[in-house]
Amino acid sequence: MRLFSAVPFTFFAFLIYNAFAFTVGVAQPDFWAHAVITVNMVSGATFELLASDILITLGLFFLFIEILKATRVGTFTLLDHMFSVLIFVAYLVEFLIVPVAATSLFFILMVISLIDVIAGFSISITGARRDVSFGHGEMH
């Protein structure tokens, strides 16, 4: 069960995109442009939340969770970083090779995954540097 905590949450956005792209998206290529929620605003404007907007929002939420995970120290931290890199590589390869992934939505999810990789390593390095500096003055 602890191994599951090392799986990056950005992987779930990847899975959700592919689940819809290879099932519903084949029959309805414009699926992500479909308005899921429509609200008439007080201003008189109509607000539409598209399926793609919901997945981007979910991806950003997953990124937030990943940044929180990057602040912890433990045995699975390095494994989590390695998995994050693998997920980003999967995004990149699919974006370049698979036609249904050549969308702006998939590109944004891929960038979210890249930010996860960069933030994870940056936070870990900063935390390690802080630990080393605290330990440096305590030599006996």
pLDDT tens for the 140 residues of the chain, in order: 566 677 899 999 999 999 999 898 767 878 899 999 999 999 999 999 999 999 999 999 999 999 988 887 777 778 888 999 999 999 999 999 999 999 999 999 999 999 999 998 888 777 655 555 555 555 55
**What letter does residue 47 receive in the DSSP assignment?**
E
Is the pTM for the entire model greater than 0.95?
Answer: no
Residue 33: which residues within 8 A CB-CB, separation 6 or more? 50, 51, 52
Is residue 116 within 8 Å of 63, Cβ to Cβ? yes
